Every structure is written in structure tokens, then in C-alpha cells.
Amino acid sequence: MLLRSQKTIKYFLLLISFGIFISCGKDDPEPQTTSDDDPIIEEPFTGEIDFIKTYGGSNEDFGTSIIRSNDGGYMVLGSTKSSDGDLASRTGDDFDYWLLKLNASGDIVWNKTYGGSQDDTATNITQTSDGGYALSGYSRSSDGDATENAGFQDFWLVKISSDGTLQWQKSIGFSGLDQAFKMFETAEGNFFVTGFFDVSACGVNPCPGDELLPGNQTVVSKNSKHGVGEFWGILLDSNGEKIWRNYYGGTNNDRSYDAIQTSDGGFLLTGSSESVDFDITDAKGSYDFWAVRINASGEIIWTRSFGGSEIDVSYALTKTPDGNYIMVGDSRSQDQDVTAAFGNADAWAVKFDDNGSIIWQKSYGGSGFDSARSIAPLANGGYVLSGSSRSNDNDLTGNLGVNDFWLFTIDEEGELTFQTNKGGTDLDFSYSAVETSDLKLIGVGDTESNDIDIPSNRGSKDLLVIKIK
């Protein structure tokens, strides 16, 4: 089945070819040359594999985030329980953060682990202005690299240098489930963190330390606790010390998975919400995509829900060149904001403006379960999304096994321009993808397969990196 825009592209290319043939047959016998200002027409992605690599040992290893490094290689963040194979120098069978420095061919330059004697699970890596990196995730440890823990899982935030040396680390949380999903450097040189925490586990009402406006020492706390999950936004200084923190949500599960800084110095937090009260004023259904726009001090400017009557969960966010935003995730709905669903669950993207008004929304996938976990800009003005698919129809031309590693691209209007699924006959997932310096696609995730596209499997689950031409 052709992609939605493929017929149009073929027709357009045919017209170009015809136009070139006619122009070459006219009075000017010399071929036309192009100036530096002429647009370059890039060949579309072919879907061919540049390389596929698995990394890890005989236990569980997975990747969650990939970014380009300044030298043309890649930084990959994930988690590991292995102590053999690529992790032969590690001891213990608990989860640790695992950072890999790869060259342009996907070979390991160096790799390091961070953590303590309990489970430490990494979620995201971003580059910092000093050439180092900010790592986010959550930890149960109070020893080793993680020096304290308030109970169960805490935000665990790690700042490292370009060679992986730990510069500072912070544990933030209460006695419940507290998980950080992104930390990034702000334009002012501070760090913003988003994730969620269990406000009911903080022990007092209101929770301590959730203050705003620290400059004039004014304390503006919540009047009451909310529910079992809250969006948690935290602003830290360059050394990881708290400037302010605040939580947003209602009485049910509200979980933030991504955030960006906005042009006015504030922030946009996104994720999903199950609540219908407190900060949620326009709930659509069971779970909704939820966006929270705050100012530089953490005060709410507006909140918006997107979705339908079923479960809709957003995992990632990007800012568009026109000053708007795109959220992506998966949707089980077929009503309200979701107008063209395909199956069990679809990858779903919604573009909205800085007031939270929808510009467009699109579903991608087939009749199975399909999800998008990341979105990143492309040089041509489009976007690459990564996720997983169980479908073999509609936007998908086949399925290799139980679950496939899925990359696809869209244009600025949300139209599907390319897709490819890779993997084997078992479970394969992608959680993050970016465009490479040579204008290819590279994604990271994990695999339990050892056949078809997957060259080898070292254990129960391997970290997986695939580069697509």
C-alpha cells in the first residue's frame, strides 16, 4: 500500500523529469547549473539499513534516548542489569544508568554506568553548553553515585562532563513514586526538570517545598494535595540547587514525560492526565494528552486537554519553526479531537499554538497497536518520529514479529512522508530517534529478537541502535 503522499511525490517527480527533458531540447544546449541559493532536492529515505547494532550482556539492557555528539558520533543513554559482554567491568544485577559514546559507525568509543546498589533507571539525555550532558531518570539507591533517597523512587539527576565524568548529582522526591523524564539546560544557564510524583506520599498537607517566587521569598503553596500522580516542574541552578518547584494536576494519575522552554522564558510541560478536577478544566475521556503552560516562576498560564473518550497518552514534544508545538504519543480514541483512527491504538500527533488551540491532528498506523515515543526536527522542515508497531496494514506495509521498531517521518502539515519497520520475530521497540549529520535517521530502543534484521542477541533484552538510509 502506498504512503498517503507517495503518489503525489511520484507524480511531482515525473513532472520534474518531463520538464528537464523539455528544457534540454530547447535552444540552449548546455545543462543548467545551480547557484548556492538554489534549493537542493534531497532524495527521500530508502528504508535501507545503514547499520544495526545490539549492545549489552546476558541480562536486561535497553536504550531510551539518543542525541548527536559534536564529533559526528552519538551519545546513547539507557539502563543495564548486565555485568558481562559490553559491561564486563560492572558488578551487581540491579539496574544502573548506562551511557554509551558511539562513533559514526555505531562502534563503542567508551561506556560508563552510574548508580548505586538499588535500581536506577535512565530516561533522557540532553547536551549542555559546556560540552557535557544532563541525564535524567529515577533511583532507589542511597549509596554509590546516588548519595540519598527519600523513599522508593526519587528523581535522580546527573550532570557529567564531555568524557562522562560525574560533576554533580541530585536526588529529589518524597516517599512515593517520583520519576524524572527530562532535564535540560535553560537559556539562562539553569536546568529545568519535568516528571511526576505521588503527592499523596509527601506526608503533610500541603507538601513542603512547593513554593513559587523565591526572589522575594513569597511562599505560594497549593491549598491542598491532589492525587496519586502530578506533573512536577523543577527549576535548578547551574549546580543543581533548587530555585523553585511546583506540581500540577488533579486527583488521579497525571504524568509529565516532556517539556521545553518557551520563547518568553516560561515552560511547556506535556504528558497525560486521568483527572477531571483541580488544574484540569477540559477533560475529554479516560486519559488525555495534557499540556501545561507556565511562566518563568512556575505559575500556570493555561492548561489544555487533547483526545477523545478513551486512553490517549503523550510522550514527547517539539517546538515548530512557526512558534507552535507538536505533541506525539498514542491514542485509543475515535471521537472528539481524534477524527481518523485506524485500529486498536494509533500513533497520534497534535499541533497546537501558544494558546493551546489545535492547528491539526493526525493518526498514524494500522489495525494493531501503534505508538510514537519521540519527535525530532529534520533539516527539510519535517519531523522524525520513533515508536513501535504491531500492524501490517494502512500506513504499515508489513510486520516482522510480535512488535516492530518503527521510524516514520511527517511534513509540516503532519502528512506521512516515509515509514519503515525493523526487527525480528520477537519484541522490538524504539524510544528515541534523530536525524544524523549525513541526513539519515538513527533510532534507539531495545530488542528481544535474534533473527531477520537483528544480527545477534546477547541476553534477555539488548540495547538496539538502527541507522536508516
Distance CA 162, CA 137 (A): 19
**Per DSSP, what are the bridge partners of residue 447?**
428, 462
Strand segments, DSSP code E, in 190-280 are 191-197, 230-236, 242-248, 254-261, 267-273
Q: Assess contact for 268 and 356: CB atoms under 8 A.
A: no
- What is the per-residue DSSP string for 151-214? SSBEEEEEEE-TT--EEEEEEE--SSBEEEEEEEE-TTS-EEEEEEE-GGGS-SSSPTT----G
Q: Assess contact for 317 and 272: CB atoms under 8 A.
A: no
Among 104, 111, 103, 109, residue whose Cα is nearest residue 63: 111
pLDDT on residue 228: 85
Mean pLDDT for each 10-residue chunk of the chain (469 residues)? 41 36 33 37 79 98 97 97 96 96 98 98 98 98 96 96 98 94 98 93 64 41 69 97 94 97 98 96 97 96 98 98 97 97 95 98 98 98 98 96 97 98 98 97 98 93 98
The owner of cell 491514542 is 331
Domain residue spans of the chain = 49-468
Residue 141 has what DSSP assignment? Answer: -
pLDDT on residue 263: 97
Residue 11 has what DSSP assignment? Answer: H
The owner of cell 542511597 is 142
Reading the block at residue 318, the C-alpha cell is: 517539539
Q: Assess contact for 189 and 129: CB atoms under 8 A.
A: yes
pLDDT on residue 204: 64
Sequence-distant (6+) residues with CB within 8 A of 216 are none
Quick one: CA dihedral 31, 33, 38, 44, positive or negative? positive
pLDDT on residue 208: 56
Indicate the SS3 state at residue 57.
coil
Among 100, 110, 62, residue whose Cα is nearest residue 82: 62
- Residue 365, sorted as left (phi over 0), alpha (psi -120 to 50) or beta, turns out to be left
**Per DSSP, what are the bridge partners of residue 182?**
194
Q: Assess contact for 365 and 391: CB atoms under 8 A.
A: yes
Reading the block at residue 226, the C-alpha cell is: 491532589
Reading the block at residue 72, the C-alpha cell is: 559526528
Residue 105 has what DSSP assignment? Answer: T
Q: What is the CATH number of domain 49-468?
A: 2.130.10.10
Indicate the SS3 state at residue 432.
strand
The strand pair at 312-319 and 325-331 is best described as antiparallel
Distance CA 380, CA 378 (A): 5
Q: Assess contact for 382 and 409: CB atoms under 8 A.
A: yes
Cis status, amide bond into 206, omega within 30 of 0: yes
pLDDT on residue 290: 98
Write phi, then psi, for 199 (nearest 5 degrees): -65, -25
Q: Strand order of the sheet with strand 300-306?
A: 254-261, 267-273, 288-294, 300-306
Distance CA 10, CA 23 (A): 20
pLDDT on residue 317: 98
**pTM, whole model, 2 decimals?**
0.89
Residue type, 446: D
Quick one: CA dihedral 161, 163, 168, 174, positive or negative? positive
What letters, b where the CB count within 10 A reaches 16 and e where it falls short, cover 271-301?
bbbbbbebbbeebbbbbbbbbbbbebbbeeb
pLDDT on residue 10: 39
Reading the block at residue 54, the C-alpha cell is: 545490539
